[in-house]
Structure 1
Amino acid sequence: MAVPKKKTSRSKRDIRRKSWERKITKQVLIALSMGKVFESKKSKSFIFPSSFNL
């Protein structure tokens, strides 16, 4: 017979949600930074192909 699970407390739920949001925020900042580099084409650490057009 199925047994219901215990309810997760709000604080545990919020902690998990915040850690997830922190990971997402970090990825978004990296993506924006990379986008700015590609838009400016002034980076020395990236090799742009000759057919790279924006």
Structure 2
Amino acid sequence: AYWAALKAFSLAKSLSTGNSKSFFVRQINKQRLD
């Protein structure tokens, strides 16, 4: 799950938009629940 978090973070950072950040947060929360 850690590598997925890094990958999602890199994607959100590269896009650098509010929507991508919200998506990033949702993905991280989903990983934590798993």
TM-score band, normalised by shorter chain: 0.3 to 0.5
Determine which structure has greater relative contact order: mean sequence separation of CA pairs < 8 Å that are 6+ residues apart, divided by chain length: 2
* TM, length-normalised to structure 2: 0.47
Say which structure is richer in helix: 2
* TM, length-normalised to structure 1: 0.33
